Amino acid sequence: MFRQTTNYNWLFMGTILFFTLGLVHIVFSWLGLICMVTPFIMAIRTGKKPWCSQPYCPRAYFFIRFLSRFSLNKKAPEGLFSEKTKQLVLRLFCINLFFAGMSTLMVYLGRLEPMLYVRFLMAFPMPFELPQILSLDLPAYLIHASYRLYSIMFTSTIIGLILGLLFKPRTWCGICPIQTLTSVKR
Ligand code: SF4
């Protein structure tokens, strides 16, 4: 389904760096926006989707690197890559972004306590804390938004790892919202 190159294998480090920097200080999770915005800039400039097809995506290399040996490589069920599934994942992603944005606004307005923890699928708080080695005096809404960004990346990476373990390493790419959105015909 996807081309696999060796030129940019080192990009898998980007995913490790992202999650590691989150342990240093959660505000580094804003770096995740690079992976959310760059695919669209590339798609607009080239009319194609080089971020996913080359790929340049650190997460794609992360899945290849860590799952190639362990993946069961089972055939994915019919329907996993259907338009319905892609649209469902895309909607969940948009709802997640919407709630992240709205809750940040509520924290900014003082109507909501900041949620200073990682959540899986928006609803499930994780039973661990990120250590936060750096101590920075930043506004609560910024820290809240940082945790929400980290949670979005964390959720999709965990789902991608589960799918990649069961099926092909890059199975997540078949339903990834970035891929779905950059595939829209212009
Ligand atoms: S589909 Fe998603 S995870 Fe896969 S290469 Fe594209 S952006 Fe990265």
Residue nearest to atom 8 of ligand 1 (CA): 57
> Using a 6 Å cutoff on CB, does residue 59 contact ligand 1?
yes
Residue-wise pLDDT tens digits, 102-154: 999 999 999 999 999 999 998 999 999 999 999 999 999 999 999 999 999 99
CA atoms of 170 and 149, how far apart (whole Å)? 22
The answer to whether the beta carbons of residues 62 and 16 sit under 8 Å apart is: yes
> Using a 6 Å cutoff on CB, does residue 163 contact ligand 1?
no
**pTM (2 decimals)?**
0.94
Say yes or no to pLDDT of 4 above 60: no
Note the Cα 13 to chain centre separation in Å: 15
Say yes or no to pLDDT of 26 above 60: yes
User: Across the strands, what pairs with 119?
Assistant: 125
Distances (CA, A) of 35 to 30, 95, 132: 10, 19, 23
CA atoms of 129 and 140, how far apart (whole Å)? 17
The ligand 1 atom at the shortest distance from the C-alpha of residue 39 is 7
> Could you tell me the pLDDT band of residue 78, with boundaries at 50, 70 and 90?
confident
Determine how many CB atoms are found less than 10 A away from the CB of residue 46: 10
Cα 155 to averaged position of ligand 1 atoms, centre (Å): 14
Q: What is the mean pLDDT of the chain?
A: 94
> Using a 6 Å cutoff on CB, does residue 57 contact ligand 1?
yes
CA atoms of 91 and 61, how far apart (whole Å)? 25
> Using a 6 Å cutoff on CB, does residue 141 contact ligand 1?
no
CA atoms of 32 and 18, how far apart (whole Å)? 7
CA atoms of 105 and 65, how far apart (whole Å)? 38
> Could you tell me the pLDDT band of residue 7, with boundaries at 50, 70 and 90?
confident
> Using a 6 Å cutoff on CB, does residue 179 contact ligand 1?
yes
Cα 109 to averaged position of ligand 1 atoms, centre (Å): 35
Query: What are residue 122's phi and psi, to 5 degrees?
Result: 70, -25
